[in-house]
């Protein structure tokens, strides 16, 4: 079975959990994030816009199954890019204010031009601080992502911070700022706006 088939299977499983009406212990969520990536040396110059659709099921134990699809539209190129990911994670509340979250997963990246694709792995860790009942500070989140084959040049870590605002018991919006690197060089600064619906 190819890595893309494994990734698709994980995505289908997580999306099924996240959209199912079957009584599963825990909660489901669907989210959409739009990110504007800017030139790392000149913030006024756009680099790309990323659209990311996310589905998750969080069990009462804190175990999280997730899947996502991201479409990247470069500012000065017709070579669009896509990422498909499946992840397994865990959320740990340390107390009433502080919580930790980590995940690991695999994905497939492909580009329109040149027509290339390759599998990768991804690790994420995050710390969140509850400010009040309606606002949380996503104090720091770190992503390490790399291709299984180092020749694909996809060593792309990211660090981010932001805020999440509850609209009601089921809905929230978030804003984040992030810094990206590729193969040891700064590759972009991003600002994202996200919306999430739990059910």
- For residue range 115-147, list pLDDT tens digits in order: 789 999 999 999 999 999 999 999 999 999 999
Unique residue bearing structure tokens 């996310």: 54
Bridge-based pairing of strands 98-111 and 185-198 is unpaired
Distance CA 23, CA 44 (A): 48
Task: Look at residue 21 in the predicted model and tell me its pLDDT.
Answer: 46
Bridge-based pairing of strands 27-38 and 116-130 is unpaired
Task: Look at residue 32 in the predicted model and tell me its pLDDT.
Answer: 98
pTM for the structure as a whole: 0.86
Domains of the chain, start order: 3-198 (2.40.160.20)
72-77 contacts, C-beta under 8 A, 24 or more apart: 72/48, 73/48, 73/49, 74/47, 74/48, 75/46, 75/47, 75/48, 75/49
- Calculate the average pLDDT of the chain: 90
Burial class (CB in 10 A: 0-12, 13-18, 19+), 55: buried
All residue ranges of the chain with pLDDT < 50 are 21-23
């Amino acid at each position: 079975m190819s890595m893309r088939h494994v990734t698709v299977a994980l995505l289908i499983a997580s999306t099924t959990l996240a959209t199912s009406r079957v009584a599963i212990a825990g909660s489901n969520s669907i989210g959409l994030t739009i990110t504007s990536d800017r030139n790392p040396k000149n913030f006024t110059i756009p680099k790309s816009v990323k659209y990311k659709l996310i589905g998750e099921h969080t069990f009462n134990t804190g175990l999280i199954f997730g899947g996502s699809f991201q479409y990247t539209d470069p500012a000065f190129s017709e070579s669009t890019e896509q990422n498909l990911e499946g992840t397994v994670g865990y959320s740990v509340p340390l107390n009433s204010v502080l919580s930790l979250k980590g995940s690991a997963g695999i994905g497939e990246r492909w580009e329109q031009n040149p027509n290339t694709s390759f599998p990768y792995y991804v690790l994420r860790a995050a710390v969140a601080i509850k400010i009040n009942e309606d606002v949380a500070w996503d104090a720091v989140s770190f992503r390490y992502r790399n291709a299984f084959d180092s020749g694909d040049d996809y060593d792309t870590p990211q660090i981010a911070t932001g805020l999440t605002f509850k609209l009601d018991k089921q809905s929230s919006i978030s804003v984040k700022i992030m810094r990206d690197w590729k193969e040891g060089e700064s590759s972009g600064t991003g600002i994202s706006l996200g919306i999430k619906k739990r059910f």
